[in-house]
Structure 1
């Protein structure tokens, strides 16, 4: 997520092959059920959380991968406070979080790649459910480029993990009730792309709006309380859509 004045991003070059090897490696062994998920890092700013373990009695647990930006990575907080890990703990699912600050469908984030650069990692992980979120990092990019890059990336993700149910989430803004028009551009681009491949689109609205106390001092990234608000919104939406029980 970006501020109202576009933030510059420090780009770190990450080779795709290295990402695949390291990300798939950290996803191999779930942590013990009694232990909280402990994130590991494939490269600076490229985080893949160790899958949270299912209950011992579970005979089959869906493997979930999340792909997004700094809101999804829990920027400024302990990685355990990121909403995907909170979701995994509450829903008892195996989850790997492939979120990188500054990243979008068009914009390269701190990992040196847009979302498309993590397609090989998705192919290595072969999730049952892939949750992808559109990002405000793409604000002010050319709308046609946003639509093209989004559609092309979603097609690549679908081809890389054909057995995965792809679930798309709308762009989340900060606490300001005045949501930029760019939010509709990025959200609708992902909606159209995921519906074209038979996936599921979910409009989360704006779970942070009207709650400045849920924002960090930069007014860009949510606090731990804000992350919990996002998790609760996503959890309810996934249950309503039949993605989670």
Structure 2
């Protein structure tokens, strides 16, 4: 997929808003980890950065919450946990994944890597960190279905870098028998009207599009389960 020029500003701004993985979520964000539900609850855990956290939105407008609403409407019997943290890198995610998975989950949606790429971090490190996160999920929740949310980089980082970055996600998905969302921001990146005034994060309407993208992948898996 080719990035339209407005997407460059949006993705570049993502790197500026919080590439420090130690940065706590703001009051506008979802909490890093929602309260742990009862032990007999079936869980869907979203693990990512500010895109998952819903930075700048009310908690119920973030796409994981929208997925939760769809699940409740369909009476599918799952609890959605939003473990998004603004500014998270794959290294930061690797350091906290063990604590986040205090209880087993049935579905694990992994959305990390954008902040790595936009900072120009070595792709080998990004790949290694994502694999380590996946390995931890397999160890702590061996029954979990892992869904990997793909991301893309703007071409101004270099065509080779952007291409190699994009390839990380399908390669890891194939290696780990994970389900791939090719591009989480499909239909949102590069569309000014679907992003907040800061030019950084999707609006509520943008997150509804993201939720539709995720739901198209998740629903068939829930039905099978």
Check conservation: 2:65, 2:80, Cα contact below 8 A.
Answer: yes
* Stretches of structure 2 lacking an aligned partner (at least 5 in a row): 1-9, 73-77
Distance in 2 of aligned mates of 1:163 and 1:238: 16
1:221 to 187, 201, 216: 201
Offset of residue 52 of structure 1? 9.3
After superposition, what is the alpha-carbon deviation per residue over 1:190-220, rounded to whole angstroms, capped at 9, x for unaligned? Answer: 3323332222222136220352111112211
Distance in 1 of aligned mates of 2:42 and 2:49: 23
**DSSP-derived class of the 1:201 partner:** strand
Please identify which structure carries the higher helix content: 2
CA shift in 2, pair 1:67/1:130, >3 Å? same
Distance in 2 of aligned mates of 1:99 and 1:135: 13
* Stretches of structure 1 lacking an aligned partner (at least 5 in a row): 15-40, 54-59, 107-113
Query: Which one is further off, 115-124 or 220-229?
Result: 115-124
CA shift in 2, pair 1:216/1:5, >3 Å? closer
2:83 counterpart residue number? 98
1:198 to 158, 166, 177: 177
1:148 counterpart residue number? 128
CA shift in 2, pair 1:51/1:204, >3 Å? farther
Offset of residue 221 of structure 1? 0.3
Offset of residue 12 of structure 1? 4.0
Q: Considering Cα pairs closer than 8 Å and 6+ residues apart, tell me whether 1 or 2 has the greater RCO.
A: 2
Offset of residue 98 of structure 1? 0.4
2:96 to 118, 127, 132: 118
Runs ≥4 in structure 1, deviation > 3 angstroms?
A: 8-14, 49-53, 178-187
Check conservation: 1:136, 1:186, Cα contact below 8 A.
Answer: no
Give the alignment's Cα RMSD to 1 decimal: 3.2
CA shift in 2, pair 1:5/1:215, >3 Å? closer
**DSSP-derived class of the 2:90 partner:** coil
TM-score normalised over the length of structure 1: 0.69
TM-score normalised over the length of structure 2: 0.74
Distance in 1 of aligned mates of 2:33 and 2:147: 19
1:3 to 1, 12, 15: 12
